[in-house]
Structure 1
């Protein structure tokens, strides 16, 4: 535990400086337990296997959606039987902080990450990012006619033809949050009142499922899809593309360490590995969008810096402060 405290007190250190000390202690612990909502076969197993091969430390994985994982972690802590070392989620940070079940840490490999991709208080670092944009069926909407800007979405020809899901960042709530965050409350609300006249179609499904329905021709355009999903499908021959509409919405996949982690040194070493260029290249090969600024996406244009488009980063703090308001705006204007 003393080693973790020492790292927390250090603002910046080089990976080479910490590795030998960490490895010795982490190997004595022998294992690390990882709770995540990432897809196991696509990215979790490759990351875990590479870590195990490099350090001979076993990775135990539990996969569930963010809300289920939060509940499980909180219940473990309350019962005094914390099993997880490293948590990795895309939402719910406020619940962790309020419950006091996560600890501060400093990962040397996070030193190169943008400030928006790591917590100034030391509770989390982003392992990968998500970019939400419109996606469209290229057989129904020629690229030259696809809407390029938020104002283009107000064109009467798109009335009743724009699909979205009602909740979270990959749906109406994220769209509203992006508009209000980037435009400001007054101008943003004026825009959203105009956009409400377009009668966007609410679909109770995941962003991926809605994109599949766009591909099938059920809807010409979907809002707030994950842009890497469109590329994955297009590479398999599907008639779909995405629009780098500015500002795109960027949200983060967060990783951190539990307060009572049974294997705190292995936990920190595992996070260091995920944040390293080596670990980030595994995310890249799995067609996720790496958070590391030196590791591009497999299709570089998917990330704002690679594609040359502007984006609004909806950090956990912005989400926590605004999401209830954004959900209320959705209910008032779009229900």
Structure 2
């Protein structure tokens, strides 16, 4: 039987939107005491033998992370279910409405999802020791329901074989130049949380008029934010109108002809939280994974191999990479995304005819 899709509005109906950094629940819940990785937690996780991660991360990234966890905690399998953030949001809504509780840990690229899940009472409070000690307040829920595990950007980029550096666009506004018509690629906000968040920031800063003009540039439309960097490196398009910056950096480091551009108007910023479901079938393994993921060692490992950024202040950029503090950024607003998500999907589909 075909299941009806749940709209974002249906998933959050009856509740007011909350801000990204002020996630106090209506019951004014208090965050639990910080939890360390103890022999008892490890033993409990090993008895469960598995942790199921629903993730919007690139599958190779998730697998490398899972393999690192399994290497450290032998006997605990990491099962990864990967798809785009907006589809994950739909899947979770469908599973919970059918009383299916398969996921232990959730990691999406759309921070607004966690506002809804927290409001619904679907998340379990858990504060790893490293998070309590080191993470700034704006990167962790006040009630301990979720944590910002990674930070990344949605930039412009170009293929260096097809575009000379002096001719490359330096701003979003320059993408409207007729010379780029038919030469750009971009992701879709109905699939990708990264593109949903970056589209919201572009609409807020530049207005729907900007996207209306961009839609007339015969832009190649793909799904995930990971797709535009790949199309760019293959030479299928000369310019990336949006997509994740970290894949561009990694491709450049691998010798591919790509170069990121940090637009003059500011670069959209995305945070990727993770959380444990209250209905997690493997609660000890879920807590162990969440605690391990946010240690300095894991955050440094993750940052090094993904070229993303960490909220852990002890993590340092890999030599040769730009510091996020050196880049002009657009501000993220998860509550704003939550309010506008359905409108963004509808208007975007109409403008780009996809």
Task: State the TM-score, normalizing by the size of structure 2.
Answer: 0.74
Structure 1 residue aligned with 2:117, among 68, 71, 96? 96
Query: Is the Cα contact below 8 Å between 2:202 and 2:268 reproduced in 1?
Result: no
Change (3 A) 1:213 1:87: closer
Question: Of 197, 202, 205, which residue of structure 2 is paired with 1:179?
Answer: 202
Separation of aligned partners in 1, 2:237 and 2:115: 35
* C-alpha RMSD of the superposition: 3.3
Residues 223, 115 of structure 1: CA spacing in aligned structure 2 closer, same or farther, 3 A cutoff?
farther
Match of 1:109, SS? helix
In the other structure, the counterpart of 1:24 is: 40
Q: Deviations over 1:103-139 (max 9, x none)?
A: 2332332243344433344322122223111111112
CA shift for structure 1 position 220:
1.6
> Structure 1 length as normaliser, TM-score?
0.77
For structure 2, which runs of at least 5 residues remain unmatched after alignment?
Answer: 1-28
- Note the C-alpha offset of 1:257: 0.8
Q: Distance in 1 between matches of 2:169 and 2:89?
A: 38
Query: 1:302–1:120: structure 2 CA closer, same or farther, 3 Å change rule?
Result: farther
| Contact persistence 2:63–2:80 (CA under 8 A) | no
Alpha-carbon distance between aligned partners in 2 of 1:319 and 1:83, rounded to the nearest angstrom:
27
- Establish whether residue 106 from structure 1 lines up as the match of residue 123 from structure 2: no
Structure 1 residue runs without a partner (length 5+):
1-7
Equivalent pair of 2:103/2:277 in contact (CA under 8 Å): yes
**1:282 is paired with a residue of what secondary structure?**
helix
Q: Distance in 1 between matches of 2:126 and 2:175?
A: 43
- Pair 209,270 (structure 1): closer, same or farther in 2 beyond 3 Å: closer
- Aligned match for 1:283, one of 302, 310, 331: 302
Q: Do residues 271 (structure 1) and 290 (structure 2) align? A: yes
> Using the alignment, how far apart are the partners of 2:280 and 2:180 within structure 1?
51
**Counterpart of 1:148?**
170
1:85 is aligned to 2:104:
yes
What SS does the corresponding residue of 1:289 show, helix, strand or coil? coil
Which protein has the bigger helix share? Answer: 1
Q: How does 1:40-79 map to 2 (within 5 A)?
A: 40=59, 42-55=60-73, 58-65=76-83, 66=85, 73=92, 77=96
Q: Could you report, residue by residue, the CA deviation over 1:47-95 in whole angstroms, capped at 9, with x for unpaired residues?
A: 4444445455613313221466556655665566634322222244466
Distance in 1 separating the partners of 2:316 and 2:340: 30
Query: What are the Cα deviations for residues 187-207 of structure 1, in whole angstroms up to 9, with x where unaligned?
Result: 6245445x3475251424444
Deviation at 1:141, TM superposition (A): 1.3
Pair 1:68–1:329, CA change in 2 (3 A) = closer
Q: Could you tell me which of 317, 321, 335 is aligned with 1:317?
A: 335
- Residue number in structure 1 paired with 2:18: none
Number of residue equivalences = 314
SS at match of 2:303: helix
Check whether the contact 1:34–1:88 (CA below 8 A) recurs between aligned residues.
Answer: no
- 1:132 corresponds to: 154
1:231-246 alignment runs, 5 A limit: 231-245=249-263, 246=265
